[in-house]
Homo-oligomer: A and B are copies of this chain.
Amino acid sequence: MAEQDDHPAPEVERDEDHQPLNRQLISRIMYALETGDREMLWAEMEPLHAADIADLLEQSNAYDRRRLIALYGQEFDGDILSELDESIREEVIGLLTPEVLAEAVRDLDSDDVVDLVEDLEDQQQEAILSALEDSDRTLVQQSLTYPEYSAGRLMQREVVMAPEHWTVGDAIDFMRNAEELPEQFYHIVLVDPRLHPVGNVTLGRIMASRREVALKDIVEETFHTIPVTRYEGDVAYMFNQYHLISAPVVDEEGRLVGVITIDDAMAVLDEEHEEDIMRLAGVGEGGLNDSVIETSKQRVPWLAVNLGTAILASAVIALFEAQIAQLVALAVLMPIVASMGGNAGTQSLTVAVRALATKDLTGSNVWRVLMRETTVGLINGLIFALVMGVVGMLWFGGPELGYVIAAAMVINLVVAGLAGAAIPVIMDRMGIDPALGSGTFVTTVTDVVGFFAFLGLATVFLL
């Protein structure tokens, strides 16, 4: 049960030194770059996966990136573009010669091309689309008609399907004779005559069965189809919840239009997480590769909101100026109550935001969760009231200040628990992402309540 505390166990091995993109390799690559030694560069980069080359480009500064791409030349592969962070994709595409770019995109699957072009400016988009073969271009353009962040943008159009009456032997013969099969596929989708998917057969089951077995007798137990307009985050959730490997995508009439595989769903899950964690911290998109100006722009809005709420909290303090002038110890102690409330509120908030994201917090348990967070706030409030009461007493040499800070602590931690859990739930019900700015709202509540409770109680009982 104490799993995560002692994590990772000491015997477990971390792979810091086994990274393909390690310091030694990077310095050899930089050496090749400095000396303009193209052969050496190619040799050093040969064993790297496209994802590692993309990381290398991301971690380089703009100057090295330009030199690297120029020297690497025609070896530049389309997969590198797919793996690149969006923040520098446009820059890198702009650095490629038209020939290299055309060559690079031609081998990509349709879903990767869609992912590549959807955020590009018109001119670059056109350059890539015109490099494709006609049939591929049509597929990509069709996918682009689906809404952003939908299953339609995520799916690949290359599907292996079979009529529902086929046998294992039919399927094997079909695949042996197929001119082109998708690079990765794990299921054959069974369809009825109107192209509605009726089941999934794993390749493993096909291989393990005799040729005369009917495909519909070996379909998988769990079968889900995905509407083409479904939000990609829900698709990722579904894959994770039901351990899907691939799932067919259907249009409004229920006809098979594509297939989504788990590796794409995993990438979406990772992006969703990035978004949650960044939004909770009030950081817009926040890539490491954005420019200083870009980054500053992304962060200013939430800092501005925070300034507004901080001024609000100050206004509360201003109500008690006369009391503070009378007893300066109040000014010394008041940030403690606010800080503890902010911390406790953030704890409740994070648990609630995460539970909403994983659909563990629903209509059926929301009251129990609110109740629980409030009760935890009460218990922790009492614990720290005791501690802080004693500290206040010792520090300022009298029991009264201790009583007041203890009472304010209890009030603020109860409010923190309630607000921390309730604010994300309310935002979610209103259709707003609960990760977005709820931290600021919760700390506003705990600042205002903290200062008001402490200074107010002090005014009543001390002065």
Contacts and interface: CB of A to CB of B under 8 A. Distances in A.
B351 A286 contact: yes
A231 B15 CA distance: 8
Interface in A349-403: 349-351, 353-355, 358-365, 368-369, 372, 375-376, 379-380, 383-384, 387-388, 391
**This protein's copies in its complex:** 2
A199 interface: no
B231 A295 contact: no
A149 B9 contact: yes
Interface string A116-151: 000100000000000000000000000000011110
A402 to B, nearest CB: 14
A135 to B, nearest CB: 20
A119 B307 contact: no
Contact of A206 (B207, B295, B388): B207
Interface in A273-317: 273-278, 280-286, 288, 292-293, 295-296, 299-300, 302-304, 306-307, 309-311, 313-314, 317
A379 B244 CA distance: 47
A299 B149 contact: no
B350 A332 contact: no
A335 B364 contact: no
Given A332-B318, A380-B303, A176 B12 contact: no
Interface stretch (A38-46, A92-100, A189-197, A235-243): A235-243
B202 A184 contact: yes
Contact of A376 (B58, B295, B346): B295
Contacts of A328: 321, 324-325, 331
A358 to B, nearest CB: 8
Interface residues of A, number: 154
A388 B307 contact: yes
A170 interface: no
A149 B270 contact: no
Ranked nearest first, the 3 interchain pairs of A and B with the lowest CB-CB distance are: A281-B350, A203-B203, A331-B331
Contacts of A244: 263
B172 A234 contact: no
A459 interface: no
